[in-house]
Chains A and B, each alone.
Chain A
Amino acid sequence: MTVSDLSLFGGLGSALDAVSNEIAQTQTELATGKRVNQPSDDPAAFAQGATLATQQAALSNDVALATAAQNTLATADNALANAANALDSAIQQATEGSSGTLSAAQMATLGQTVGGLLAQVISAANLQYGGTYVFGGNQVLTTPYSSTGNYNGDSGSNAAVLSDGSTLQLTFNGAAIFGNQTSGAIGALVALQSALNSGDQAGTAATLPQLQAAVAQIAQARAQIGATSSTAAAVVTTDNSDLTTLASAQNDAVGADLTQLAATEQLQLTQQQALVSLGQALGKLPLINILA
């Protein structure tokens, strides 16, 4: 078969174009570290990689939310611990005040101490974290308790919503935990202070079961918050682990084998050089060069 000079050089040109395109593609993959840089590189892998990236973004947001929730809940737990300590002190005051050995003046002094404890509990109930009142239910911008123990919040709550639809409760119905002027911890403290101030031993003794119930209520709230905090910690741990898995899966879908690519690039550069050398050799081939 006759091989025309045009086809000889034309074929060489096509081969050089092809290997140059391959080198450009390899170098792009090496530069980005990705086998799939645009949808047409591998449409199915691109969609999979994009979906995995979205899942990673959602999980990262979950981790941020859960971490913030842990901080909020830890602060809330500290506040509840302070309230519990105050109630324990109040129980001591009530026990002492109901012993029948104190004078009215001494009981009034105890009443003053209980007033301080009441303020301590109200302060704990008015905990504000990040500009939000934690124990006001949905009324996060309103101070939940007045100085006299009147509850201004509501029975709602709000929560961080994670990407899987699960929630982490971040605000709580303060009345259900601390009560108000007539019930719960605050009600018990108000009653105790009043009984002590009036020298009412029987009344003082009557507050003891209320105070103990309030301690139990606080403990229950702490347990609930602790459970939520544990859930948040688990979310952080699990999601971080999932993020590692997703990153690996994404690398499998769109990532490049850099070692293999480097070897491929070397081979392609060698091919290119060989083709250039071939072109130089072809230029010397026509018979006219020999005849000359």
Chain B
Amino acid sequence: MSVNLDAIGLTGIYAAEAELAATESNITNASNANYSAETATLAVLPGSNGAGAGVEVVGTQRAEAPFLAAQINGVQADQNYNQALSQATSAAENYLTPSSGTNLGTDFQNLIDAYSNLAATPADPTVRTSVIAAATTLANDVGSLNTNLAAAAAGNLAQLGGLVSQVNGLSQQMAALNAEIQAAQPGNAGDAALLDQRDALANQLAGLIGATTDSAGNVTVGGIALVSGANALTLATTGSGSSTGLEVAFAQGSLPVQPTQIGGTIGGVLAAAASLQQLQTNVQNFATAMANAVNGVQQAGFGLDGSTGVPLFLLPTAPGGSITLNPAITPDNLAAAATAAGVPGDGSNAAAVVALASAVGLDSAFPGSTLGQAFNQIAADFGTTVSSASNNQQQASSTLSSLQQLKSSITGVSLNDQLSLMIEYQNALEAAGRAVQAASDMTTFLIQELNQ
């Protein structure tokens, strides 16, 4: 029986080198969040007589946690969705916060207080001017809030083009990677690196649009394929403004993606835009209801100059518009009197406006509320949206962090572990080297003995 000690020792050196190479890669990538720890896979090299003939490096094993990776992508989509929704709605909430924005409920109460003063002193020109000033503030604040909310919603939707471009770029990268992975030798370090890249792309696509990626790298959004093997389809925006949507373009046509099918940042952006548009609609309805109520009383009364039928506010003439102060209103034609023209001391019509403050159901969306309460409820309802998005984002962020730590315990790199392994592999390398040295010494000894 013959034993090739040199060869066996060399396989050990190769194996230790492969292990050290994997450890080196692991240490180098310890701070790379997209990296999965690698280990060299070894196998016994069978000898001719049943004994081992050394060790063989089979390939590089990549640590994987596919279930956790899918969970992380799902939670990443939730986190990004709520983050986008929270950021957009929080910014808009400033318009409803008394310290930084407007409070139409307070503005309306100030108008009522001005009318209350007018009822007490109907002929006082200063008080009449005060009513118009309060109405001007109210109309201006409604207009400002309406404009700001429209701009916020439009600004939010304007992000969609860039985000969709990012999705398309990532889809193309994913398709290209799929082709490379199919062509790569499974089990080598290059293959592991490609799989790391694909996992990172899958996570980015999940975060951007709530896409799901299967183990073969196929990507779907709301059940619609976006990447199929080495082919990527194109996502595009459709419509504009409040009717903005998305579609996946095929060679034969396109398939619309419903907002409910979209998650991630893009889903959050769409949800935020819808939420802002709903808030704008609620504010417009409130303002219109208030203007109609005040005008109804105002137009039935009489001004100091005997005029009647003059509205205090003008209603919006186009969708998305806002109420404005009637430019024709003057201190003299402001209708404080109800009984007849030319009765300067009659404040009963002004008193009728004051009564609107306690009237419920003027804004039909809030049948049990006064106008002041209705606006407070509009603000509170939007606050619930903001609060809910923020809480959901924090919860998703916390869950994501836990899942990432869990996954990291399987696929991540512990420098302590790697340093321990490095010592072990250094020792193995040294031992294999000594085995080769021993074989060499034996050969030298035998040659010397044969020469004597």
Contacts and interface: CB of A to CB of B under 8 A. Distances in A.
A185 B120 CA distance: 28
B123 A161 contact: no
B425 to A, nearest CB: 15
A158 interface: yes
A261 interface: no
A257 interface: no
A51 B116 contact: no
B4 interface: no
Interface in B79-99: 89-90, 93-94, 96-99
A5 B415 contact: yes
B380 A54 contact: no
B358 interface: yes
B106 A160 contact: no
Interface in A122-171: 130-132, 136-141, 154, 156-165, 167-168, 170-171
Interface stretch (A38-46, A82-90, A175-183, A264-272): A38-46
Interface string B20-35: 0000000000111100
A39 B120 contact: no
B382 A39 contact: yes
A154 to B, nearest CB: 7
Interface string B27-50: 000111100000000000000000
Contact of B417 (A2, A41, A167): A2
Contacts of B120: 65, 68-69, 158-161, 168, 170
B345 A132 contact: yes
Contacts of B345: 132, 136-141, 156-158, 171
A14 B372 CA distance: 41
A31 to B, nearest CB: 11
A57 to B, nearest CB: 5
B185 interface: no
Q: Classify the secondary structure of B's interface with A.
A: helix
B420 A287 contact: yes
A40 B31 CA distance: 37
Interface string B388-421: 0010000001100100110011101111110110
A287 B416 contact: yes
A39 B96 contact: yes
Interface string B117-131: 101111110000000
A288 interface: yes
A130 B121 contact: yes
Given A7-B405, A138-B345, A58 B106 contact: no
B419 A43 contact: no
Contact of A159 (B98, B105, B119, B417): B119
A238 B372 CA distance: 23
Contacts of B383: 38-43, 46
Contacts of A137: 345
Interface string A1-27: 111111100110010000000000000
Q: Classify the secondary structure of A's interface with B.
A: mixed
B238 interface: no
B339 interface: yes
Given A39-B380, A130-B124, A132-B124, A158 B119 contact: yes
B122 A47 contact: no
A50 interface: yes
A281 to B, nearest CB: 15
Given A7-B404, A54-B105, A161-B120, A38 B94 contact: yes
A131 B337 CA distance: 18
Interface in B330-384: 337, 339, 343-348, 350-351, 354-355, 357-358, 372-373, 376-377, 379-384
Given A38-B94, A40-B386, A130-B121, A163 B357 contact: yes
Given A4-B409, A6-B30, A10-B404, A38 B97 contact: yes
B415 A57 contact: no
Contact of A38 (B93, B117, B381): B93
B110, B119, B358, B373: residue with the most chain A Cβ atoms closer than 10 Å: B119
A139 B117 contact: no
Given A39-B380, A130-B124, A50 B103 contact: yes
Contacts of B98: 50
A291 interface: yes
B109 A58 contact: yes
B56 interface: no
A241 interface: no
A5 B119 contact: no
Nearest to B398: A14
Contact of A165 (B31, B113, B355, B412): B355
A233 interface: no
A6 B94 contact: no
Given A44-B380, A50-B105, A3 B409 contact: yes
Nearest to A163: B357
A57 B98 CA distance: 14
Nearest to B352: A161
Contacts of B283: none
Given A14-B401, A165-B355, A43 B387 contact: yes
A98 B142 CA distance: 73
Contacts of B384: 39-40, 43
B206 interface: no
Given A5-B415, A6-B33, A51-B373, A46 B379 contact: yes
Nearest to B33: A6
A286 to B, nearest CB: 4
A255 to B, nearest CB: 15
A140 B415 contact: no
A123 to B, nearest CB: 20
A162 B337 CA distance: 17
B139 interface: no
B355 A10 contact: no
Given A138-B343, A141-B344, A291-B419, A43 B408 contact: no
7 contacts: A2-B409, A6-B412, A43-B383, A50-B379, A50-B380, A161-B354, A287-B419
Given A139-B344, A159-B120, 11 more contacts: A2-B410, A6-B408, A10-B408, A38-B97, A131-B124, A138-B343, A140-B345, A154-B343, A163-B112, A163-B357, A288-B415
Q: Considering the complex of A and B, which 6 residue pairs feature the smallest CB-CB distances, nearest first?
A: A39-B383, A4-B412, A138-B345, A140-B345, A40-B386, A47-B380
